[in-house]
Structure 1
Amino acid sequence: MKRQFAVIGLGRFGGSVCCALIEQGVEVLAIDQCEAKVNQYRDVVTHAVVADSTDEQALRHLGIRNFEHVIVAIGDNIQASILTTLILDELGVEHITVKAQNDYHEKVLVKIGAERIVHPERDMGARIAHHLMSKNVLDYLEVSDKYSIIEMFAGSKMHAKTLVELNVRASFGCNVMAIKRGAEMIVSPKADQLIQQDDLLIVLGADEDIKRFEQMFDDTK
C-alpha cells in the first residue's frame, strides 16, 4: 500500500507540496474551499476535494485520521489554520505539518498539536540571502533556531588542503558531513581528506560559526 498524505490549502506553497509528493510516488489528497484551486490540481493529485477544513464533520467524512501525514498549507487565514490544526490533533492525526505566517502563529500551533512548523517565505529568504552574500554557497537549510546546514563549493582558498589544514572543526566549530566530487559522495570524510576546488561541501554548524566559515573561505574577499 502506498503512503498517504493530505494537503489542506492549495495556494502556491500547498500546490508545490502536492506536486513534490506525487513525484515521490505517494498518494495525495488535496483539499481547499476554492473549487477553482481544487480543479487546478484534480489531474495532478490522487484525489482533490472541495471542503471546509474548519468543519470537523467534513474532515471526518474524508477519513482524514487515516492519513499518515497532513500538511496544513492555509495561506493568510491564521484563524482557519489554527482551528484546522486543532481539529486534526483532536481527530488523532499522527503527523501534522503547518505553514506559519509569523512567530506568534508558530507558538500557538506548537501548543495545539502541530508536529512541525514551516516558514516557507522566511526560509526561502534566508537561502537567497546566503546565496547572494557568497558565490560559494549553493544552498542553505535551517535545522533549528541556532544550527544550519550549508552546501558550499570549495574555492581556491581550500584547494589542495586537508580538513586538518583548514582546521574546520577546531577553528570554526563546524563539521564537514560529506563531500560531493562529481558523481562521487564522500560521507563522514576523515581529517586527512584532501579538498579539491569545486568540491561541494555539506557543512553543519551553529549559525555564527557557519557565517565565519563562509567569510573566511569566500573567494570574493
Structure 2
Amino acid sequence: MKYIIIGLGYFGASLAEKLTRTGNEVIGVDHKMDKVELLKEKISHTICLDATDEQAVSHLPLKETDVVMVCIGENEGANILATAIMKQAKVKRLISRAVSALHQTVLQAMQVDEIIHPEEETAERWAKKLNMHGVIDSYELTGDFSIVEAEVPKALDGLTLQEADLNDKYSVVVLTLITMEEKENDLGVKAPVPHTEGVANSKTRLTAGAIMVLYGKSKDIGAFLGQN
C-alpha cells in the first residue's frame, strides 16, 4: 500500500514509522524541515512542503496513492485547508484528524472518508487498522490477543454464526455486531452513528455492511480477514 501522511507531529510520525516497518510505502510531508530531517532515515520518503499550498501539493503523487492522511493537529485551519485540497484532488481514500467537536463537524460536512481522534486512538491501532483488510478499529489486549472491529465479508452475508462456524475454522469469536444509522449533526449534515446489538449467539445473522466485533489471537484474526 502507498500512503501520504501530512503532518509529522508525534502521531503522524509514529504512524508513518509503523506503516513503513510493516512493508508499506510512506511519504511523510511537513512544512517544518527539522521534522522532515528527523524522519528521513525512518520512513520511505520525506518531503518538506506546505500542504495548504495547492500548487505545492500538486507535485505529490496523489493519483497513485492509496490513502492520504491529514494528521495536522496544532493548527485546525491548516488541517481543514489541507483536507479541502485533498478532497478537491479526489484522492482515493481521505482520512483527517479532528482535535475538537466543532472540527469534527466541519470534516463531516466535507464528507471526509474517516476521522482520526489521536487523543483517544493510538498510532499502533491505526497501523493495524490500515494493514488488515476490512478492519475498522482494534484494541490490543494482553499477550497476542486483540479485539477487532471489522466489516462483515460479503461471503458471510446472510449466514448465522453457527453456519459461519468462525470459532472452529479460525479460532475467532464474534462478540457482537454493530450497524450504522444516519443522523443529522449540528450542521444538519447526515452522519453515520453506530448502534451496537446485544451479545452475539449461534442464531445471530451476519449482514454485509455491518461490523463484527471479533476476539482472538491477532494472527488468527488476520488469517480470517485475509481469506475473505
Q: What TM-score does the superposition give when structure 1 sets the normalisation length?
A: 0.59
Contact 1:6/1:31, CA 8 A, preserved across alignment = yes
In structure 2, stretches of 5+ residues that fail to align are 123-137, 152-160, 179-195, 200-228
For residue 32 of structure 1, what is the aligned residue in structure 2? 30
Q: Which SS does the other structure have where 2:5 is aligned?
A: strand
- 2:91 aligned residue: 93
Q: Percent identity?
A: 29
Q: How far, CA to CA, are the matches of 1:32 and 1:84 in structure 2?
A: 11
**Structure 2 Cα separation of the partners of residues 110 and 186 of structure 1:** 39
Alignment partner for residue 102 of structure 1, among 100, 103, 120?
100
> Which amino acid letter does the alignment assign opposite residue 9 of structure 1?
G
Structure 1's 119 and 140: CA in aligned 2 closer, same or farther, altered over 3 A? farther
Measured against aligned partners, the alpha-carbon deviations of 1:93-139 in whole angstroms (never above 9, x if no partner) come to: 12111111122212211222411112121246xx99x98xxx9xx75
Q: Distance in 2 between matches of 1:83 and 1:142?
A: 31
2:3–2:27 Cα contact (<8 Å) kept? yes
Q: Which amino acid aligns with 1:71?
A: M
User: CA separation of 1:113/1:56 partners in 2, compared to 1, >3 Å: closer, same or farther?
Assistant: farther
Residue correspondence of structure 1 range 209-220 to structure 2 within 5 A: 209=198
Q: Which residue is equivalent to 1:203? A: 175
Distance 1:46 1:121 in 2: 26
Q: Which stretches of structure 1, 4 residues or more, deviate above 3 A after TM superposition?
A: 138-144, 199-202, 205-210
Structure 1 or 2, whichever has the larger Rg, is 1
Question: RMSD in angstroms over aligned alpha carbons?
Answer: 3.8
- Match of 1:31, SS state, is strand
In structure 2, C-alpha distance between the alignment counterparts of 1:208 and 1:178, rounded to whole Å: 19
Under a length normalisation based on structure 2, what TM-score does the superposition of the two structures give? 0.57
Give the alignment of 1:122-137 within 5 angstroms. Answer: 122-123=120-121
Partner deviation per Cα, 1:62-114 (whole Å, 9 max, x = no partner): 23343221011111211111110100011121211111112221221122241
The residue aligned with 2:203 is none
- Quote the Cα distance in structure 2 between the aligned partners of 1:57 and 1:103: 30
Which residue number corresponds to residue 64 of structure 2? 66
For 1:119, the equivalent position in structure 2 comes to: 117
2:73 matched to which residue of 1?
A: 75
The total of aligned residue pairs comes to: 163
Distance 1:204 1:76 in 2: 37
Structure 1's 141 and 118: CA in aligned 2 closer, same or farther, altered over 3 A? farther
Higher relative contact order (CA 8 A, sep 6+): 2
| Distance in 1 between residues matched to 2:76 and 2:93, nearest whole Å | 20
Structure 2: which amino acid aligns with 1:21? L
